[in-house]
Amino acid sequence: MKKIICLGIESSCDETAAAVVDSDKNILSHVIYSQAPEHREWGGVVPELAARAHILAIDLVAAQALRDAGMDARDIDIIAATAGPGLIGGVIVGWEFAAGLAMSANKPLIAVNHLEGHALVPRLRCESDSGGDAAAVDFPYLLLLASGGHTQTLIARGVGRYELLGQTLDDSAGEAFDKVAKMLGLGYPGGPAVEREAAHGNPKAFRFPRPLCGQDNLDFSFSGIKTAVRMTLGKTPDAVAADICASFQQAVIDAIIDRLGRAIARAVGIKTLVAAGGVAANRAIRGAISSLAAENGMRFAAPPIKLCADNGAMIAWAGIENYLAGNTAAARPTAPRPRWPLEELAS
């Protein structure tokens, strides 16, 4: 089979990213422009600022990705871009740029579901328990997908084929991390800041709730943990930030492990447990899930840390997988959208 080369464009939130990937699983370039400085003073992403920053950066980032790969648009076989879910202003910027480039270069255009980008990237690159490269995963696998406003468990059975087992009923894990960081004045992005503080704290200093733990369902809830942190800070304003972070992080870990343990019991015959999305970059969470997999005789896989956050390589790889499955924009027309559940892909 002829090698396929894809330019992937990602602009769903606060990173403008592009990458060139081929169907032999080589990442030929990987460029990310982070908007964190623009949003830091606000303590979170401002959608209008994000969209404007994407407009200013998108052509420069894509051009750099092509240069780093030693190519121009004529050398690319297909172009893929995030079409949702995400902040609609940013999604439109990336999608329209990709659509214009595909039209001018006469290349097939692939509409990628951002969540599927995270779901499929472990098939491009993943790490072994020792931290080195490992063989990419095969279908089917049990997936914890924790990215942006999403925290959910699914069985990934194939490209576009996802069975939803459970999801958050309120805040996602990532949102809870960001909000706790804001309460503590740790800056933006909040997730890495809380993780850094937690490394120096006592996870038993405060007993925060573990919502839904022990209940016979597979959903998540993180809002109560966040609220408990706020109440604790109100009662003990001199609490050590590192202890708050460590105790909060441990509560999130315990909730995730309880929910995943029940999902494993439901996912009969599945031998691989995958964690993907920005929260999978948290080493404490990653380690706990790896231990859970080992206890259940499962292989654990996760993308390298640099591929957990939003990036163009995951979009390019998802574009290749969808192209090989016949899912081009011409065959399956789509439009940018703020919501796009994974389970809708099958239809």
Distances (CA, A) of 308 to 126, 141, 192, 335: 10, 17, 12, 25
Mean pLDDT of 282-310: 97
* CB hemisphere CA count around 312 (13 angstroms): 33
pLDDT digits (tens, 9 = 90+) for 156-203: 999 999 999 999 999 999 999 999 999 999 988 899 999 999 999 999
64 pLDDT more than 70: yes
* CB hemisphere CA count around 239 (13 angstroms): 23
Paired tokens of 94: 């990336």
- Assign 99 a pLDDT band (cuts: 50, 70, 90): very high
CATH architecture of the domain formed by 5-121+307-344: 2-Layer Sandwich (3.30)
Q: In the chain, which residue ranges form alpha helices assigned H by DSSP? A: 36-40, 47-68, 88-105, 114-120, 173-184, 190-198, 223-235, 241-266, 283-295, 312-324
Tell me which amino acid residue 131 is. Answer: G
CATH architecture of the domain formed by 131-302: 2-Layer Sandwich (3.30)
pLDDT digits (tens, 9 = 90+) for 48-59: 999 999 999 999
Paired tokens of 245: 């972070």
Task: List CB contacts of 96: < 8 A, sequence separation 6 or more.
Answer: none
CA distance 17 to 315: 9
Q: What values do phi and psi take at 65, rounded to 5?
A: -60, -40
Paired tokens of 249: 């992080």
All CATH 3.30.420.40 domain ranges of the chain, comma separated, are 5-121+307-344, 131-302
Q: What values do phi and psi take at 164, rounded to 5?
A: -75, 125
CA distance 123 to 335: 26
Residues counted in the chain: 347
pLDDT digits (tens, 9 = 90+) for 273-293: 999 999 999 999 999 999 999
pLDDT computed for residue 36 by the predictor: 77
User: In angstroms, how far is the first alpha carbon of the chain from the final one?
Assistant: 28
